Chain A
Amino acid sequence: AQSVTQPDIHITVSEGASLELRCNYSYGATPYLFWYVQSPGQGLQLLLKYFSGDTLVQGIKGFEAEFKRSQSSFNLRKPSVHWSDAAEYFCAVRGYNKLIFGAGTRLAVHP
């Protein structure tokens, strides 16, 4: 069955520290993968996407993600976190006519 697992429910980092959010997927074919960010009470904003090609993809707000087929992973990274990055982050894989989301990782940023 197609699924997405985000192992970390909550992560807290200090402002300026690096960040890595984990995402593992289960999908039979070549996956189309996405990371979205959601501020409280808001909709989802696309950070970046992977369809094919270079396994390291760049997104908005200084985020990047690396696709590793051997590990079925698509981890999100940022070298230096800003207080405004505090939000919930969702990894998703495209299934047939739908997106399949993980449960999300809530990021808190300490000053």
Chain B
Amino acid sequence: DAGVTQSPTHLIKTRGQHVTLRCSPISGHKSVSWYQQVLGQGPQFIFQYYEKEERGRGNFPDRFSARQFPNYSSELNVNALLLGDSALYLCASSSPTGRTEAFFGQGTRLTVV
């Protein structure tokens, strides 16, 4: 079975631009979460989606938004990019309840110049 897949793997954007990152969860997983990992730090929670509804949101500005599609894939959108948005963006899928772990994709490395 395929794991969590993210696209693109790398991209470079200019300050003020908009970016869309994509994630496909493991087959059968209905919950997708997004994390931001700045160099040298642990991942920070951005969003969790389950059944196309937002179930959790971290301490990120409104420039960050996400959505989940009927096939449970997800997009993370960031508007008006800042230099500080440069990071590895990780997507994780899991079953939403019970004793289950989160499985992570390889991430998208975003560089804002």
A interface residue numbers (CB < 8 A to B) = 4, 32, 34, 36, 41-46, 49, 51-52, 90, 92, 95-104
Contact = CB atoms under 8 A, between A and B. Distances in A.
B105 A97 contact: no
Given A51-B99, A97-B56, A99-B43, A43 B104 contact: yes
10 contacts: A34-B101, A34-B102, A43-B4, A44-B43, A44-B104, A46-B102, A97-B48, A98-B45, A98-B58, A99-B33
Interface in B31-56: 33, 35, 41-45, 48, 55-56
Nearest to A106: B40
Contacts of A44: 43, 90, 92, 104
A63 to B, nearest CB: 15
Contacts, number: 56
Contacts of B105: 43
A68 to B, nearest CB: 20
Contacts of B55: 97
A98 B56 contact: yes
A104 B48 contact: no
Interface string B70-107: 00000000000000000010101000000101111111
B109 interface: yes
Closest 3 A-B residue pairs measured CB to CB?
A97-B56, A101-B42, A98-B45
